[in-house]
Amino acid sequence: MKVRSARSEDLDAVAALLAMNELPASDVTPNLLRDFAVAEDAHGSVVGSVGLERFGADALLRSLAVAGPERRAGLGSKLLAHAEETALASGISELWLLTTTATDFFRRAGYAFDDRPSAPAGIQTSTQFAQLCPSTAVCMRKKLKSTRA
């Protein structure tokens, strides 16, 4: 699997992948897609996605999705690591997310539970946070640390 920056022509494939995984896609625009990465298979088909929505030194991690046939092969972890490295390299120190189904996955990756009202104001006003994710979604965050010595 090749992980690369998303391109505008990936928009339909990313939206379809998110819909297949029952994740919100209505606010994924070409502008937002600039901070997304996709995984493509040997045939060039998009089989995974992850995005960052930036708010200063914080970002909302969003749209982490993997196509059914590609699950359980570590692709989600690979996409998450890519997003975290990208965030850290661009000055983001903390990632926030909402999830209804992947709490254990994110907990194993170092994310901690947090109260939704504790999120920075910018993140709270994002469409994802304020409108698209249900109030039952679990809020999690992770402080990013450089792994370089």
Question: What pLDDT score does 70 carry?
Answer: 77
Is position 149 within any domain? no
Is position 68 within any domain? yes
Concatenated DSSP letters for the chain?
-EEEE--GGGHHHHHHHHHHTT---TT--HHHHTTEEEEE-TTS-EEEEEEEEEETTEEEEEEEEE-GGGTTTTHHHHHHHHHHHHHHHTT--EEEEEESS-HHHHHHTT-EE--GGGS-HHHHTSHIIIIIS-TTSEEEEEE------
Question: What pLDDT score does 69 carry?
Answer: 73
Q: How many domains does the chain have?
A: 1
Q: Could you tell me the residue range of the domain that residue 100 belongs to?
A: 2-143
Question: What pLDDT score does 148 carry?
Answer: 56
Is position 10 within any domain? yes
Residue 147 pLDDT exceeds 80: no
CATH code assigned at 110: 3.40.630.30
pLDDT digits (tens, 9 = 90+) for 76-107: 999 999 999 999 999 999 999 999 999 999 99
Is position 122 within any domain? yes
Is position 108 within any domain? yes
pLDDT digits (tens, 9 = 90+) for 109-145: 999 999 999 999 999 999 988 888 888 899 999 999 8
pLDDT digits (tens, 9 = 90+) for 56-69: 999 999 999 999 87
Question: What pLDDT score does 68 carry?
Answer: 82
For residue 11, name the pLDDT band (cuts at 50, 70, 90). Answer: very high
The span from the CA of 135 to the CA of 72, in Å, is 28
pTM of the full structure: 0.92
Is position 94 within any domain? yes
Is position 91 within any domain? yes
